[in-house]
Amino acid sequence: MILILDFGSQYTHLISRRIRGLGVYTEIVPFHFEIEQIKRKNPAGIILSGGPQSVYEENSPKVSKEILFLGIPVLGICYGAQLIAHILGGKVKRANVGEYGRTRIFISKDDPLFHDLPKTFNVWMSHGDIISDVPDFFEKLATTDFSPVSAFRYSNIYGVQFHPEVFHTEYGLDIIRNFVFLICKAQKDWSIQDFLNRKIDEIKNKDGGVICAVSGGVDSTTLAVILSRAKRKEELNFVLVDTGLLRKNEAENVRKDFLSLGIEIDVVNAEEIFLSKLAGIEDPEEKRKIIGKTFIEVFEKYAEEKKRVSEIRFLAQGTLYPDVIESGVSVSGTAHVIKTHHNVGGLPEKLGFELLEPFRELYKDEVREIGKILNIPPRILNKHPFPGPGLAVRIMGEVTREKLQILREAEFIFQNELSKWELYNSVWQAFCVLLNTKSTGVVGDSRRYGWVLAIRAVESADAMTADWARLPYEFLDEVARKIVASVPQISRVVYDITSKPPATIEWE
Ligand code: XMP
């Protein structure tokens, strides 16, 4: 496996996903991971990620020199490269001209890292500091017009100033492949089918009942199918909490989808309790927290009742690798909380369950692959993400029954049109947002003073960054017409053309 030490770069996960895509297992750990723990993991290679700080700042994240001399190949990327240079006596300073985006690189020396690559190509840069000099015992491997050392090597320690992991770096994947196979000599032994077989066996070997909350999304559906392959029906308890914040007919549709997969789920109608707790609440973070807390309360009550009639030992959750890392990184203090994400954390200790989280090491696209192997229909695997707090974060201000009804109708029309125009699968996510602003309209001969509805559709690879989707004008035109014609409380429809960053995908 390849171990990645994270210094807080937004691209750290990309490094990991690229390498897994090559068939080699990876793990991301915080930069301050103990040297003894590193040795125990016995990696074939170590990568030091990029990061937002400057190595010459007193409090910037550092690693001990020892890590570079374990006899394991090391690759530093951007901040990681600067850190290696800094530790070994090189000079890193503020650049007169920072390099951002597409930059031409010139390879000055043959090396396995650039095996089979042209002598010059375009790479993606994002740095305000440069490595201005390296000790004589280093080999300089590449330069750009503004960086005298864009890639270097000392023994089996490498550094590259650019980002080979991003899509826009030409030959980026080749550089990673060269590092992983030619330099680290890693074995190609990570396959999703093997992983799935192993997980099913592991679950089979654990005695006891399981309880699992489902939403009908990709992760929980795939999880439920895995559980149903590993356990007897009587041992499984699936529940969908209907928060009253779901889309039109959603709970019933999810129940039917599960039935078609041979799985029965309980639907707990908790609309009353959620809506009463949300009454009068306008602040987005407060809404999210109330929903998270109420979800746990409702789930606990369900679990207590189930426990009375059946023996349950495990709580299964579809936690993904980025969720695991995110909590770890937050602990090390390098990540900012932008939004409180809704999950069921904290449940197991209180209820005395052991956790079953078979996807803890996986990325979403890997879960989709598993779903495909398990014959889950593409209609379910390609579902857009839907946030845990549901429509509550798509109604600006207070959530009321009436507003939920208005948003549900508009959303239903939008989704139908997306499918009809065969646009659903061409975007990452698309949805409606009900603003707390009214606007004047005219219908027939009368004035209509109704709500403004925003439509949002984005393209993305991983929800970390997103661009607004260039949907055809004719499509937007039809959606707007149909919504205003069918939902009398809406007087105006607008299209959101903000990317992430600076905006987020959801409005709250
Ligand atoms: P943002 O709005 O942060 O959203 O750009 C990124 C992705 O995450 C989804 N999202 C959530 N998913 N619980 C979830 O399970 C949440 O609380 C939550 N908030 C946002 C959002 O729909 C998008 O796909």
Q: Name residue 265's amino acid.
A: I
Is any atom of ligand 1 closer than 6 Å to the C-beta of 504?
yes
> Residue 432 falls within a domain, yes or no?
yes
pLDDT of residue 497: 97
Which residue has its alpha carbon closest to ligand 1 atom 4? 505
For residues 20-36, average pLDDT: 94
> Residue 427 falls within a domain, yes or no?
yes
> Residue 387 falls within a domain, yes or no?
no
Is residue 342 flagged as an active site residue?
Answer: no
Examine the domain organization and report whether 418 and 364 are in the same domain: no
Examine the domain organization and report whether 31 and 173 are in the same domain: yes
> Residue 389 falls within a domain, yes or no?
no
DSSP state of 10: T
Examine the domain organization and report whether 273 and 139 are in the same domain: no
pLDDT of residue 331: 36
> Residue 50 falls within a domain, yes or no?
yes
Examine the domain organization and report whether 149 and 202 are in the same domain: no
Strand segments (E) across 65-197:
74-77, 91-107, 120-133, 139-143, 151-154, 157-160
Pairing of strands 151-154, 429-443: unpaired
> Residue 442 falls within a domain, yes or no?
yes
Annotated catalytic residue: which of 13, 86, 163, 342?
163
Examine the domain organization and report whether 354 and 446 are in the same domain: no
Is any atom of ligand 1 closer than 6 Å to the C-beta of 384?
no
DSSP state of 353: P
Domain at 368, CATH number: 3.40.50.620
Examine the domain organization and report whether 179 and 243 are in the same domain: no
Examine the domain organization and report whether 122 and 259 are in the same domain: no
pLDDT digits (tens, 9 = 90+) for 162-187: 999 988 899 999 999 999 999 999 99
Domain at 64, CATH number: 3.40.50.880
- The residue segments making up the domain with residue 408 are 394-495
Contact 13, 55 (CB under 8 A): no
Q: For the chain, what percent of residues have pLDDT higher than 70?
A: 95
Choosing from 341, 344, 367, 458 the residue with most ligand 1 atoms within 8 A of its CB, the one to mutate for a pocket test is 341
Contact 476, 455 (CB under 8 A): yes
Examine the domain organization and report whether 364 and 467 are in the same domain: no
Q: Mean pLDDT in the chain?
A: 93
Annotated catalytic residue: which of 86, 99, 127, 165?
165
> Residue 408 falls within a domain, yes or no?
yes
Residue 4 pLDDT level (bands cut at 50, 70, 90): very high
User: Which residue, of 183, 209, 225, is where some domain finishes?
Assistant: 183
pLDDT digits (tens, 9 = 90+) for 231-278: 999 999 999 999 999 999 999 999 999 999 999 999 999 999 999 999
CA of 389 from ligand 1 middle (Å) equals 9
> Residue 502 falls within a domain, yes or no?
no
pLDDT digits (tens, 9 = 90+) for 100-135: 888 999 999 999 999 999 999 999 998 999 999 999
User: Which residue, of 160, 183, 206, is where some domain finishes?
Assistant: 183
Is any atom of ligand 1 closer than 6 Å to the C-beta of 345?
no
CA of 287 from ligand 1 middle (Å) equals 14
User: Which residue, of 381, 407, 430, is where some domain finishes?
Assistant: 381
Is the pLDDT at 334 greater than 70? The verdict is no
Both tokens of 394, joined, read: 């798509």
For residues 211-226, average pLDDT: 97
- Annotate 487-501 with DSSP letters as a single string: -TTEEEEEE----BT
Overall number of domains in the chain: 3
Which residue has its alpha carbon closest to ligand 1 atom 11? 387
Examine the domain organization and report whether 212 and 160 are in the same domain: no
Is the pLDDT at 463 greater than 90? The verdict is no
Q: How would you class 37 by CB atoms within 10 Å of its CB: exposed for 0-12, middle for 13-18, buried for 19 or more?
A: exposed
Domain at 447, CATH number: 3.30.300.10
Instruction: Indicate which atom in ligand 1 lies nearest the CA of residue 341.
Output: 17
Is residue 86 flagged as an active site residue?
Answer: no
Terminal Cα-to-Cα distance of the chain (whole angstroms): 39
Examine the domain organization and report whether 65 and 166 are in the same domain: yes
Residue 333 pLDDT level (bands cut at 50, 70, 90): very low
Neighbours of 54 (CB within 10 A): 16
Helices H, strands E: what count in the chain?
15, 18
Neighbours of 284 (CB within 10 A): 18
Is any atom of ligand 1 closer than 6 Å to the C-beta of 506?
yes
pLDDT of residue 343: 54
Both tokens of 375, joined, read: 């014959």
Choosing from 343, 506, 507 the residue with most ligand 1 atoms within 8 A of its CB, the one to mutate for a pocket test is 506
Residue 304 pLDDT level (bands cut at 50, 70, 90): very high
Examine the domain organization and report whether 46 and 131 are in the same domain: yes
Residue 339 pLDDT level (bands cut at 50, 70, 90): low
Give the H/E segment covering residue 268. strand 266-269
pLDDT of residue 328: 52
Where would I find the H helices in 22-57?
35-41
In this structure, is the dihedral angle defined by the CA atoms of residues 50, 52, 54 and 59, taken in order, positive or negative?
negative
With vertex at residue 33, the alpha carbon angle to CA 32 and CA 36, rounded to the nearest 5 degrees, is: 130
Choosing from 214, 383, 505 the residue with most ligand 1 atoms within 8 A of its CB, the one to mutate for a pocket test is 505
Both tokens of 448, joined, read: 């209509």
pLDDT of residue 345: 53
Which residue has its alpha carbon closest to ligand 1 atom 22? 387
Q: For the chain, what percent of residues have pLDDT higher than 90?
A: 83
Examine the domain organization and report whether 371 and 247 are in the same domain: yes
Is the pLDDT at 332 greater than 70? The verdict is no
| Residues 249, 250, 251, 253, Cα dihedral to 10° | 80
